[in-house]
Structure 1
Amino acid sequence: MKFLIADDHPLMRRGIRDLLREAFPDLDVGEAATGQEVEQLVRTGLWDLVLLDVSMPGNDGLETLVRVKRALPAVPVFVLSMHAEEQFAVRALKAGAAGYLTKDRAPEELVTAVKRVLAGGRYVTQSLAERLITEISGGAEAAPHERLSQQEYRVMCLIAAGNTVSEIAELMHLSVKTVSTYRVRILEKLRLRTSAELTYYCVKHGLVA
């Protein structure tokens, strides 16, 4: 059995690797620290599972997820993230993830989740399952930020985290003009006027700490 663990923190990769090797003694593990490394490695090996952090340097994590699923549609991708479910979980599942778990959950839960995914199932927490059911049943209107494109969503979170347009352009490998255009679109779609209002909106909806 062969897993690819993608996380930019070496200690986190080691902890996940050691935990999973206790549950799967014959496990072979590959490691990646950036989105680019993930994309390179998925082309060179036969993987049974990819464990992916959505906040690594390089490519946007959800974009990496989409590319991995495009290259290896039969291989499950499990997202293990520091971000609260409200931030990325639904988007990750819609992009093809087999499950989503935050890094503050118990180690035993990760093992349970991995086993379920390897058996062909999906894994989400009870709170996320309830949210998904509400969405599917039409019981709640989608929040304005859920209508943003993935790039717009990432720019929104970076603005709310206090980054300048120039800093965001460097982080996302985009021009300052492109990021500025995204900012204008985001404010229009959310019916906001300033970056301060955007930050308040994100904090209110639990999108940033």
Structure 2
Amino acid sequence: MPSSTSHTPYRILIGDDHRIVREGLKQVLADAADLHVVAEAASGPEVLEAVQALGGNAGLSAVLLDIAMPGRDGLDVLQALKAAWPKLPVLMLSTYPEKQYAVRCIKLGAAGYLNKGADPDDMIAAVRKVASGGVYVSAQAAEALASAVANTTHQGAEALSHREHQVFRLLTAGKTVGEIGAQLGLASNTVSTYRQRILEKTGTKNDVELALYAQQQAHNANL
């Protein structure tokens, strides 16, 4: 029996225009003592209003967001959420196959992509992972991302200088620009410059995608 006293429960908002889907998600998450659905919304504008009312990442641990939303589609809402609350994890939900939307969602800053047909245990694991600050990628989404990265014209991690590789390893370990600067004895703006070069050379657009890139590199190295 999981204990709900070990830490503060994760506070979740569900954004989906189908009530039956929202009820189903709530029922699945109700089996996890540490996951509490505190709000729900049936349209894009409602999601933004609800997140605003709850104080963004100050009042929420994660947002579960459907791609096909009325009023303002999920990808548009995702961009608005990441612009206003960059640290608020957003797990995208969809009935579409991963190869169609997973890479696009991750490029826009989503912390993961989950098919609505996923097994309930996988769903709970995904929500828990993003709510705790991690990135959830199914095997299919990882494959789609790997294909996208392989098709870029960038040079990849092999082209990184020694210093860039140091910064790359620390970024993908979850260190902030300030923490990396302190560890390597560099000014924050210098680290930011290295970070930009790393994104360009790896063909990635943000820290989430960079972390997935590193994960895929490590996987390939172990094959």
- TM-score (normalizing by structure 2): 0.59
Is there any run of 5+ residues in structure 2 with no aligned partner, and where? 1-9, 154-223
Cα distance, 1:28 vs. partner?
4.2
Structure 1 residues 10-38: Cα deviation after superposition (integer angstroms, max 9, x where no partner): 11101111211210357242000000101
- Residue 41 of structure 1 aligns with which residue? 50
Structure 2 counterpart of 1:86, which letter? K
- Residue 53 of structure 1 aligns with which residue? 66
Change (3 A) 1:86 1:28: closer
In 1, the alpha carbon distance for the partners of 2:34 and 2:133 equals 20
Secondary structure of 1:30 counterpart: strand
- Residue 16 of structure 2 aligns with which residue? 7
In 1, the alpha carbon distance for the partners of 2:148 and 2:79 equals 22
User: Which one of 112, 117, 120 corresponds to residue 107 of structure 1?
Assistant: 120
Does residue 76 of the first structure (1) align with residue 85 of the second (2)? no
Does residue 94 of the first structure (1) align with residue 103 of the second (2)? no
Change (3 A) 1:133 1:87: closer
Aligned Cα root-mean-square deviation (Å): 2.0
Change (3 A) 1:63 1:26: closer
Cα distance, 1:52 vs. partner?
0.1
Alignment of 1:132-171 (within 5 A): 132-138=145-151
Structure 2 counterpart of 1:85, which letter? E
Cα distance, 1:136 vs. partner?
2.0
Change (3 A) 1:38 1:129: same
Change (3 A) 1:123 1:139: same
User: Which one of 21, 25, 36 corresponds to residue 16 of structure 1?
Assistant: 25
- What is the total number of aligned residue pairs between the two structures? 141
Structure 1 residues 78-134: Cα deviation after superposition (integer angstroms, max 9, x where no partner): 011111112211111111110001111111111111122123211111122122123
In 1, the alpha carbon distance for the partners of 2:109 and 2:33 equals 25
Contact 2:61/2:132 (8 A) holds in 1 = no
Contact 1:33/1:56 (8 A) holds in 2 = yes
Change (3 A) 1:26 1:120: closer
Structure 1 residues 129-176: Cα deviation after superposition (integer angstroms, max 9, x where no partner): 122123224479xxxxxxxxxxxxxxxxxxxxxxxxxxxxxxxxxxxx
- Residue 189 of structure 1 aligns with which residue? none
Contact 2:106/2:112 (8 A) holds in 1 = yes
Is there any run of 5+ residues in structure 1 with no aligned partner, and where? 141-209
Structure 2 counterpart of 1:88, which letter? Y
In 2, the alpha carbon distance for the partners of 1:120 and 1:8 equals 26
- Residue 181 of structure 1 aligns with which residue? none
